[in-house]
Chain A
Amino acid sequence: MSTPSTAIRPETGLLIIGASQAGVQLAISLRGTGFDEHITLLGEEDHRPYQRPALSKEFLQDTVGKENLIFRSQEYWDEHDIELVKGARIERVEKRPDGSGVAHAADGTEYAFRRLALAVGARARRLELPGADLEGVVYLRSADDALDLKSRLGDVQDVVVVGGGFIGLEAACSLHGMGKATTVLEYGPRLVGRAVGEDTSAYFLQSHRSRGLDIQLDARLARFLDDGEGRVTGVELEDGTVITAQLVLIGVGVIPNTELAEQMGLAVDNGIVVDRHALASDGTTVAVGDVANMPNPLPGAPEGERLRLESVNNAIEHAKIAAYSLTGRREEYAGIPWFWSNQADLKLQIAGLTLGYDSTVVRRDEAKGKFTVLYYRQGQIIAADCINAPLDFMAVRTALGKGQNIPAEAAVDASVQLKSITAERTVDRKVPA
């Protein structure tokens, strides 16, 4: 064992732990809001901060390279007095009530700070089943995961993807498109059950099956099979069915990285609990992005409703809130949440949050392959799933942003442009206090 070095870094104005979408945005937004103290942006990964979404799509398919995923050039960080530290994992934080403290890295380095931001994100949830640690059973969260996955593809003919959520389906489509025989095993009764309504799930199922993806719903995985030398050869389901695969990719959701917050004594409940200003329970630490459990930001949302959003848009918007919070401008989350997912030739765009709807309108244009589901609560539009229908997506996102409605009766006719029927809200836009 080597003795840990005891390097002590000079105090930084703000230490951001986690250098990905949310952490990067926080640093950038702070400079935009006039924060002039030194910022240290620190992450455990050995890559310059990069964007994750392409890892399951363009990067996996080799249509964009690693360089294209990098957020900002080194010159940008230098010019803006933002110090980027790669390859540093923080294991413990000592914090004083005034918000300052010291973060201890695994290599022994100590980072003193005046304020702290946790942008530590989430990690892939592991499947604890027999054979889970075999060679060839992989996950996809980071650039290293994606590089590893790509390096394994050479001899692979059959792939099993466990999980029919966004990551699983995106990766399955990419791999299928690269000529791999691909089977998707979904535990639940429908695809992407967590994020979209039943009509959208059904649309995905039918489109993906028709392009040759083997999708099995209600599939109960029992174990991973091996060749006797530690390599995966397939999976076995509870009913005894065996599916051959030289590669098994698991995409069954994520777990927020709350360990540091717990160690610091912050309130944690499916993520770090934050208020409308992105402040954790100590009132000084900010927590942003995938790791934060926050009040539902939408106007008119039920009082006390909380959620943890896993999206680029949320990481960006939430980081902006935190930047305002840190500079004493208590503005609230204002943007309309939105999300995208590209799966083969399907481009899904979701505007708003599909929470607590009481009716839907489905718009279909078979000829053009367009498919939209509008979600309503008490006659007011609250969200939309749009597949290959950017016009619909744009109309809904704009209407939600302006607090307008798109009356359901008129939207039923798929040939009508939603933009042309956008109307003032019938229900009052209740801005949360």
Chain B
Amino acid sequence: MPTIHYTDDTGTTVDVTAKPGDSVMETAVRNGVTGIVAECGGSLSCATCHVFIQEDQVEDLPPMSEMEDEMLYGTAVDREDCSRLSCQIKVTEDMDLHVTTPETQV
């Protein structure tokens, strides 16, 4: 089963078993992982699902769209090279992804 490891800004990690096809955002929200707000429910409109991908895993993910790239310029905590919007990342079969959530999303 795919697993997503969510670490918050204080360093606490929650591991959540995910369903392939769901997004990394949906997996978090449904399980009440704090640190991801996701106001728009994944329609790439709010940028409140910002996460930092563990550096050595950035390359494993499909590249982002121009829209996601632009939205990342308005996140509450400034973007970094490993920033993604978690609603745009689909969970795959053997995913074992480590993400860190920013201090705030709004």
A binds B: yes
B-binding segment of A71-79, A200-208, A229-237:
A71-79
Q: Which residues of A contact B34 (CB under 8 A)?
A: 32
Q: Is A349 an interface residue (CB 8 A)?
A: yes
Contact B41 A53 (CB under 8 A): yes
Contact B74 A393 (CB under 8 A): yes
Q: Is B62 an interface residue (CB 8 A)?
A: no
| B1 → A minimal CB distance (Å) | 15
Q: Is A355 an interface residue (CB 8 A)?
A: no
A394-B47 contact, Cβ under 8 Å, with A71-B29, A75-B31, A76-B32? yes
| B21 → A minimal CB distance (Å) | 9
Q: Which residues of A contact B74 (CB under 8 A)?
A: 390-391, 393-395, 397-398
CB neighbors of B among A64-103 (8 A): 64, 68-73, 75-76, 79-80
Bound-state Cα–Cα, A335 to B39, Å:
13
Mark contacts of B5-43 with chain A using CB atoms, 8 A cut-off: 1 yes-contact digit, 0 otherwise.
000000000000000001000100111101000011111
Q: Which residues of A contact B89 (CB under 8 A)?
A: none
Bound-state Cα–Cα, A159 to B80, Å:
46
Contact A51 B70 (CB under 8 A): no
Q: Which residues of A contact B31 (CB under 8 A)?
A: 72-73, 75-76
Q: Is B99 an interface residue (CB 8 A)?
A: no
Q: How large is the interface on B (under 10, 10 to 19, 20 to 34, 35 or more residues)?
A: 20 to 34
Residue among A71, A335, A340, A398 making CB contact with B45, cutoff 8 Å: A340
A80-B73 contact, Cβ under 8 Å, with A68-B26, A312-B40? no
Q: Which residues of B contact A73 (CB under 8 A)?
A: 30-32
Name 29 A/B residue pairs within 8 A (Cβ), A-sorted: A32-B34, A53-B40, A53-B41, A53-B43, A68-B26, A68-B42, A72-B32, A73-B30, A73-B32, A76-B30, A76-B31, A312-B39, A312-B40, A312-B41, A335-B106, A340-B43, A342-B45, A347-B44, A347-B45, A390-B67, A390-B70, A390-B71, A390-B73, A391-B73, A391-B74, A393-B74, A394-B70, A397-B74, A398-B74
A54-B29 contact, Cβ under 8 Å, with A394-B74, A395-B74? no
B69 — nearest CB in chain A belongs to which residue? A390
Q: Is A38 an interface residue (CB 8 A)?
A: no
Contact A347 B67 (CB under 8 A): yes
Give chain A's interface secondary structure class: helix
Mark contacts of A348-389 with chain B using CB atoms, 8 A cut-off: 1 yes-contact digit, 0 otherwise.
010000000000000000000000000000000000000000
Q: Is A316 an interface residue (CB 8 A)?
A: yes
B44 — nearest CB in chain A belongs to which residue? A347
Q: Is B46 an interface residue (CB 8 A)?
A: yes
Q: Is A57 an interface residue (CB 8 A)?
A: yes
| B66 → A minimal CB distance (Å) | 9
Bound-state Cα–Cα, A254 to B14, Å:
41
Q: Which residues of A contact B46 (CB under 8 A)?
A: 338, 340
| A244 → B minimal CB distance (Å) | 33
Q: Is A58 an interface residue (CB 8 A)?
A: yes
Q: Which residues of A contact B44 (CB under 8 A)?
A: 347
Bound-state Cα–Cα, A390 to B73, Å:
9
A52 — nearest CB in chain B belongs to which residue? B41
| B11 → A minimal CB distance (Å) | 19
Q: Which residues of B contact A316 (CB under 8 A)?
A: 39
Q: Is A313 an interface residue (CB 8 A)?
A: yes
B47 — nearest CB in chain A belongs to which residue? A394
Q: Which residues of B contact A71 (CB under 8 A)?
A: 29-30
Q: Is A47 an interface residue (CB 8 A)?
A: no
A79 — nearest CB in chain B belongs to which residue? B32
B19 — nearest CB in chain A belongs to which residue? A67
Bound-state Cα–Cα, A58 to B23, Å:
15
A342-B43 contact, Cβ under 8 Å, with A76-B30, A347-B67, A390-B67? yes
Q: Which residues of B contact A58 (CB under 8 A)?
A: 43
| A424 → B minimal CB distance (Å) | 19
Bound-state Cα–Cα, A340 to B46, Å:
8
Closest 8 CB pairs of A and B: A394-B74, A340-B45, A390-B70, A76-B32, A390-B71, A51-B41, A391-B70, A73-B30
Mark contacts of A396-426 with chain B using CB atoms, 8 A cut-off: 1 yes-contact digit, 0 otherwise.
0110000000000000000000010000000
Q: Which residues of A contact B41 (CB under 8 A)?
A: 51, 53-54, 69, 312
Contact B73 A419 (CB under 8 A): yes
| A354 → B minimal CB distance (Å) | 17
A389 — nearest CB in chain B belongs to which residue? B70
B70 — nearest CB in chain A belongs to which residue? A390
